[in-house]
């Protein structure tokens, strides 16, 4: 069950993006992490048609796993996602307004970790290591810290973003012509 929000507005929710791919530099305490993936509306439209033709989500996913991954992977824990432009704006706003790193959403900034790089994997960057349009950060963790020990022990194995956002329903025609 998702953590509850402290906001009274029902259109507000706590967004979480779970890491899809990470790599670590053991000696420097660096973690490269894909924080969030944007929605691919073309994949959604194609997958919607495939679901209709196959008679269900599971059957469509079995017929074309790559399409299912492109359509479904960007959906977060809450069943929502971000369009590429919104994700890029969100990533930039995070750097300007927060840059905070905490542990397990305790909302207490840690001195053991900090964001040292951030980019959106746009067409100009086009890193094959990350999902197209994904927001990627590099987190430097003090290799002598308890946090790094927890990462090495596998006690912490994901990164999540936390923000209070207004959810805007979007109506999209996902039916194939």
Over the stretch 65-82, which tens digit does the pLDDT of each residue have?
Answer: 988 888 887 777 677 788
Task: Find, among 7, 53, 3, the residue nearest to 167 by Cα.
Answer: 7
What lies within 8 Å, CB to CB, of 103 at 6+ separation is: 110, 147, 156
Q: Which range (61-65, 79-83, 104-108, 168-172) has the least confidence?
A: 168-172
pLDDT of residue 53: 92
Could you report the per-residue pLDDT of 97-116, keeping only the tens digit for each?
888 888 888 888 899 999 99
Distance CA 76, CA 88 (A): 16
pLDDT of residue 63: 93
Tokens at residue 11, please? 């259109």
Mean pLDDT of 120-132: 88
pLDDT of residue 121: 92
Element (H, E) at 42: helix 41-54
pLDDT of residue 35: 85
pLDDT confidence bin for 54, thresholds 50/70/90? very high
């Amino acid at each position: 069950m998702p953590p509850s929000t402290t906001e009274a507005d029902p259109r507000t929710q706590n967004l979480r993006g779970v890491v899809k791919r990470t790599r670590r530099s053991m000696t420097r305490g660096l973690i490269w992490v894909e924080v969030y993936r944007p929605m691919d509306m073309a994949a959604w439209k194609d997958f919607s048609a495939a679901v209709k033709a196959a008679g269900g989500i599971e059957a469509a996913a079995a017929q074309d796993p790559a399409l299912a991954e492109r359509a479904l992977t960007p959906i977060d824990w809450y069943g929502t996602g971000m369009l590429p432009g919104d994700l890029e704006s969100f990533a930039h706003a995070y750097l300007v307004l927060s840059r905070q790193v905490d542990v397990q959403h305790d909302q207490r900034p840690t001195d053991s970790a900090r964001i040292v790089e951030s980019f959106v994997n746009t067409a100009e960057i086009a890193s094959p290591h990350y999902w197209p349009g994904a927001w990627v950060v590099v987190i430097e963790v003090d290799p002598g810290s308890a946090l790094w020990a927890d990462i090495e022990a596998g006690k912490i194995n994901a990164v999540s973003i936390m923000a209070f956002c207004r959810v805007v329903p979007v109506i999209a025609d996902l039916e194939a012509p």
